[in-house]
Amino acid sequence: MTNSKPQNLPVTHEKARKTVKAPLNQYLIVFVLSLGALMIFLPFLWMIFTSFKTPTEAYAWPPVWLPKEWNLKNFQQLFDTIPFLKMFVNSVWTSVAIASLNILTAAPAAYAFARLRFPGNDLFFSSHLLSMIVPWQVTLIPTFLMVKQFGWYDSYAALIIPSISNAFTVFLLFQFFRNLPKSLEESILVDGGTWFTALWHIGIPASRGAIAAAWLFAFLGNWQNFLWPLIVLQSQDKMVLPVGLLSLQNQFSVNVPVLMAGATLASLPTIIAYLFVQRYLTDSAITSGIKG
Amino acid sequence: MLIQPTRKPKEKLSNLRQQEALLAYLLILPSTIGILVFAVFPILASMGISMTSWGGLTQPSLENFRSQFNGIENYQTALSDDRVVRSIQHTLTYVLLSVPIGIAVSLAIATLIHNLKAGWLRTFFRTTYYLPMVTIGVAVALLWQLLLNPQGLINLMLSWFGIKGPAWLASPEWVLPAIALFSVWQGSGTSVILFLTALSNVRKELYEAAQLDGATGWNAFLKITLPMISPTIFLVMVLSLISSIQVFDAVLVMTNGGPGDSSTTIAVYIYKTAFQYFKYGYSAALAWILAIFLIVLTLIQWRVQRQWVNYDQQ
């Protein structure tokens, strides 16, 4: 860019190193990235502002940025229309349950597939891979019918049980376990320990960070999930947030501020939680970077 | 009891082998049961359903399966179904808009973040760009429905530059670009993170060597960075192709396939065929056509990648 190019001139290694480190103007980078960040923040701000507006203000042209009056009328109307709090709690506990059960079944399986020798290893592992390759449209109808046959329609069982086994989590943790040095368990086995003690003392402690990350991904996946609850849940008090918001859309398509009140209340807790987790994730990434 | 010293280690070894296998079966049992019941069995069942004219009114039983079996009729119908052809066109339009732009934007963002010196700024921007991924998809889709309103924020911003924006979601020509724009906004964060990891793995000596040869800035990016991160570019390409071909949530929330059917993508059509028109057999056949297409596409990509992906960075 603006760098002077010392072409054809004998350059010392030191000099080259200096220019490599600052190839782009820092202020320019920050400026461009901030424009992009504004594109991320502006919609969220717009959502919050709109949740306080009157319908007339929400559809005014040219648009008004801030509402004339900041009152909680839209939020009041939201709570009067749908059991928002109940839906929020449903979303949290079912996502926590699915993610935890998912890890409890996936982590042991991933450990066995990655580190243990047993007849049928490849066969069982490929059955997991198969479920990853085939898109969800294929399994949707049969799974829905099964859930109905089991009498689970419109119950939490329908929401939770089919979602517990997730081959992606198995695969993610498989990759992690495979990269651990083989000598870890051998040291215990040579000392006369059993495979069970090896698992307890080596496998589980070594994988804490990876398991936390996999749990977060599983939680987020279910927190976002919208199609499956849309199909298997019917009663409003069992619904989870994504579906609840969608039902709000049908009722308030003309009253956008109430809709945005719902979107705001559904998004803010996640954003705040994410900011905390992000910090922890970054820290653990840095620590593992130093170790590696 | 007399113990032969040579036999003991062997015995212990085979004992350990048995123990290892026993432990393995215990560990894989819960996950494997779940996968067999809720993935492998439904896959097989949907193959069967796709060869019937079943509409969901009768009970799923072997007898009904026999009486409603129609072989490959659904697959033949699909190939000449005008609505299928149109939904494929919509899907391809969306894919061609969202995938290249998404990769270019996220690679640019990642490169800029990577070149920042201050660590806290890198963290700040990475966190910011990933933010839309963690908020509930339905909530941000509803939000963008508002932004893309003919009198919304997007058209306000365009009007600052003297551009009169289209009706976006209400316009048959602009609805797919509008959803693609939303998906780039929402989904770039994941690719940014993947690219950042790849960029930090490129060895610094390579740039220093290039510097000695006079390659800087843009040249170094083309000659070193791009080839070195090509495995990640390939990965991001495969992932975003697969997910954008199956685009569903955003469409269902923002337009429900409309106006008319101008944003009905293949995944939306499959869903509606099953859960609004109750043609289970036909929907299953369409799902299998999509599945086969996705698998073949992925296989082709794996073949072609050898010509441009560079794996010798280690």
Length of chain A: 292
Q: A253 vs B178, which has greater pLDDT? A: B178
Q: Do residues A39 and A146 share a domain? A: no
- In a 3-state reduction of DSSP, which class is residue B52? strand
Q: Please give the average per-residue pLDDT across A14-18, as a whole number.
A: 44
Q: Do residues A82 and A65 share a domain? A: no
Q: Do residues A63 and A126 share a domain? A: no
- Which residues 15-74 of B are in CB contact (within 8 Å) with A? 16-17, 19-21, 23-28, 30-43, 45-46, 49, 60
Q: Do residues A36 and A99 share a domain? A: no
d(CA B17, CA B9) in angstroms, rounded, equals 12
Give residue B269's pLDDT. 96
Interface test with B, best of A141, A231, A286 (most B CBs within 10 A): A141
Whether A188 is in a domain gets the answer yes
State the complex-level ipTM. 0.86
Under an 8 A CB cutoff, do A164 and B34 touch? yes
Whether A210 is in a domain gets the answer yes
Q: What is the CATH number for A270?
A: 1.10.3720.10
Contact A70, B158 (CB under 8 A): no
Give residue B209's pLDDT. 81
Q: Does B290 touch chain A (CB under 8 A)?
A: yes
Q: Percentage of residues in chain A with pLDDT exceeding 70?
A: 86
Q: Percentage of residues in chain B with pLDDT exceeding 90?
A: 55
Angle between helices A256-291 and A208-224 (to 10 degrees): 170
Chain B positions touching A271 (Cβ under 8 A) are: 131, 134-135
A10 vs chain B: nearest CA distance in angstroms? 9
Q: Which of A11, A42, A70 is the last residue of a domain?
A: A70
- In a 3-state reduction of DSSP, which class is residue B191? helix
- In a 3-state reduction of DSSP, which class is residue B54? coil
Whether A4 is in a domain gets the answer no
pTM of the model: 0.86
The full set of domain ranges for chain B reads 81-306
Contact A109, B30 (CB under 8 A): yes
pLDDT category at A25 given cuts 50, 70, 90 is confident
Chain B positions touching A29 (Cβ under 8 A) are: 112, 115-116
Whether A197 is in a domain gets the answer yes
**Residue B56, both tokens:** 């969901």
Under an 8 A CB cutoff, do A196 and B127 touch? no
Of A32, A106, A138, the CB nearest to B287: A138
Report long-range pairs for A265-270 (Cβ below 8 Å, ≥24 apart). A265/A75, A265/A78, A265/A84, A265/A88, A266/A88, A266/A241, A266/B135, A266/B136, A266/B139, A267/A44, A267/A47, A267/B135, A267/B136, A267/B139, A267/B140, A269/A88, A270/A223, A270/B134, A270/B135, A270/B136
Under an 8 A CB cutoff, do A142 and B142 touch? no
User: First CA to last CA across chain A, in angstroms?
Assistant: 35
Q: Which of A10, A42, A70 is the last residue of a domain?
A: A70
- Which residues 270-289 of B are in CB contact (within 8 Å) with A? 270-271, 274-275, 280, 283-284, 286-288
Q: Do residues A159 and A239 share a domain? A: yes
Residue in chain A nearest B148 by alpha carbon: A43
Chain A positions touching B217 (Cβ under 8 A) are: 1, 3, 23-24
| Residue A192 pLDDT > 80 | no
Under an 8 A CB cutoff, do A136 and B246 touch? yes
pLDDT per residue as tens digits for the range A76-121: 999 988 899 999 999 999 999 999 999 999 999 998 999 888 999 9
> What's the DSSP call for residue A66?
S
Under an 8 A CB cutoff, do A108 and B290 touch? no
pLDDT per residue as tens digits for the range B15-70: 878 888 998 999 999 999 999 999 999 999 999 999 988 887 777 777 777 788 88
Selection from A268, A246, A263 nearest residue A51 by Cα: A263
B78 vs chain A: nearest CA distance in angstroms? 16
Containing structural domain, residue A123? 75-289
Under an 8 A CB cutoff, do B246 and A131 touch? no
pLDDT category at A21 given cuts 50, 70, 90 is very low
B257: left (phi over 0), alpha (psi -120 to 50) or beta: left
DSSP secondary structure of A205-239 = HHTHHHHHHHHHHHHHHHHH--HHHHHH--SGGG-
**Residue B222, both tokens:** 């083309």
| Residue A282 pLDDT > 70 | no
- What b/e sequence results for B177-216 when a residue is b if at least 16 CB atoms lie within 10 Å of its CB, and e otherwise? bbbbbbbbbbbbbbbbbbbbebbeebeeebbeebbeeebb
Q: A39 vs A249, which has greater pLDDT? A: A39
Q: Does B113 touch chain A (CB under 8 A)?
A: yes
Q: Which of A16, A40, A70 is the last residue of a domain?
A: A70
pLDDT category at A24 given cuts 50, 70, 90 is low
Question: Counting Cβ atoms within 10 Å, is residue A272 exposed (0-12), middle (13-18) or buried (19+)?
Answer: exposed
| Residue A284 pLDDT > 90 | no
d(CA B138, CA B136) in angstroms, rounded, equals 6
Chain B positions touching A118 (Cβ under 8 A) are: 20-21, 24-25
Domain count for chain A: 2
Q: A283 vs B148, which has greater pLDDT? A: B148
Question: Counting Cβ atoms within 10 Å, is residue A3 exposed (0-12), middle (13-18) or buried (19+)?
Answer: middle
Give residue A59's pLDDT. 84
**Residue A269, both tokens:** 């807790």
Q: Which fold has domain B81-306?
A: MetI-like fold (1.10.3720)
pLDDT per residue as tens digits for the range A169-181: 998 888 888 888 7
Q: Please give the average per-residue pLDDT across A51-69, as a whole number.
A: 87
| Residue A193 pLDDT > 90 | no
d(CA B241, CA A26) in angstroms, rounded, equals 33
pLDDT per residue as tens digits for the range B105-153: 999 999 999 989 888 899 899 989 989 988 899 999 999 999 998 888 9
Give residue B47's pLDDT. 93
Whether A253 is in a domain gets the answer yes
Chain B positions touching A138 (Cβ under 8 A) are: 42-43, 46, 284, 287-288, 290-291
Of B112, B146, B152, the CB nearest to A29: B112
Q: Does B297 touch chain A (CB under 8 A)?
A: no
Give residue B208's pLDDT. 80
Q: Please give the average per-residue pLDDT across B156-176, as a whole number.
A: 92
Q: Do residues A47 and A92 share a domain? A: no
Of B21, B125, B140, the CB nearest to A37: B125
CA geometry: angle B59, B63, B66, nearest 5 deg: 110
A73 vs chain B: nearest CA distance in angstroms? 19
